[in-house]
Amino acid sequence: MMEAPITEIFCSVQGEGPYVGNRQVFLRFAGCNLNCTYCDTNVQISETCRYEQDPGSGIFRYVKNPLSPCEVEELIDPFMNVHSLSLTGGEPLLYADFISELNVGVPLYLESNMTLPDMAKRVKDCISFVSGDVKLPEAFQGEKLNSHIEKTIETFKILRKTDYRDCFCKIVITKNTNSLDVLNVVAAIRNYISCIVLQPVTQFELRPNIRVLLELQNELLGDIDTLIIPQTHKMWGCL
């Protein structure tokens, strides 16, 4: 039986990117194939999954891990009037086969670091929205940087925007971000995405200079729709 380790399941609103404010169910997978310097998410595999049935209540019950697609479907079923099911993490594409087995009755919204092209091929026909991160050299911790960038570009190509799927790119910007790194990767993926979201890092000590951020947006706008959107859910304290 197909199973996956889930960190938490809850209903809230999307806090990042062009779909900010939309009501979603969030399915957070444990585990990640990267170790980004600014990551603020616990990706460790746990014996239990936190489940908040009453949105915003802060009251959780704990469900034994790992979960099957059928168990996830039952837990998600009570949530009404949602835009989509956000598959987040960690890195959801580690569980591509599990995702392909989900039958939840709402569109699937994938939040991915876009570094697993082989896994992307397995889910491309069942995903309606793709929020694809680009991990720049400052954030990426590991060997074979060129291979990492190549895999990112290939994953965007596989999950590219189509008539039935939106795909956009989100890039976390810090005070150490090299604008040329951003421009180079955007040039490589611009034909596969609907827009770029520049996301100022939430940690105060790492935040970018506002003028530099605006200059980068201005330069990108010549080629592609470019938005500056912070993590809004952090501002008002929701999950």
Once rounded to an integer, what is the mean pLDDT over residues 88-99?
96
Closest CA to 113 of 129, 98, 135: 135
Fold designation for 6-236: TIM Barrel (3.20.20)
- pLDDT on residue 198: 98
Q: Say whether pLDDT at 1 is over 80.
A: no
- pLDDT on residue 108: 98
User: Maximum CA pair distance of the chain?
Assistant: 53
Q: What percent of the chain has pLDDT over 70?
A: 92
Once rounded to an integer, what is the mean pLDDT over residues 76-99?
96
Q: Say whether pLDDT at 38 is over 60.
A: no
- pLDDT on residue 143: 57
- pLDDT on residue 211: 97
- pLDDT on residue 238: 84
Rg (CA), the chain: 17
Residue 199, strand partner residues: 172
Q: Say whether pLDDT at 197 is over 80.
A: yes
pTM here? 0.94
**Among all chains, which residue has been given the structure tokens 């996830």?**
72
Q: Say whether pLDDT at 205 is over 70.
A: yes
Once rounded to an integer, what is the mean pLDDT over residues 75-104?
96
Chain centre to alpha carbon of residue 189? 17
Q: How far is CA 132 from each of CA 45, 49, 66, 217, rounded to the nearest angstrom?
A: 23, 25, 26, 18
- pLDDT on residue 14: 97
Burial of 189 (0-12, 13-18, 19+ CB in 10 A): buried
Once rounded to an integer, what is the mean pLDDT over residues 226-236?
92
Question: Using one digit for the tens of pLDDT, what is the confidence trace for 119-134?
Answer: 999 999 999 999 999 9
Q: What percent of the chain has pLDDT over 90?
A: 81
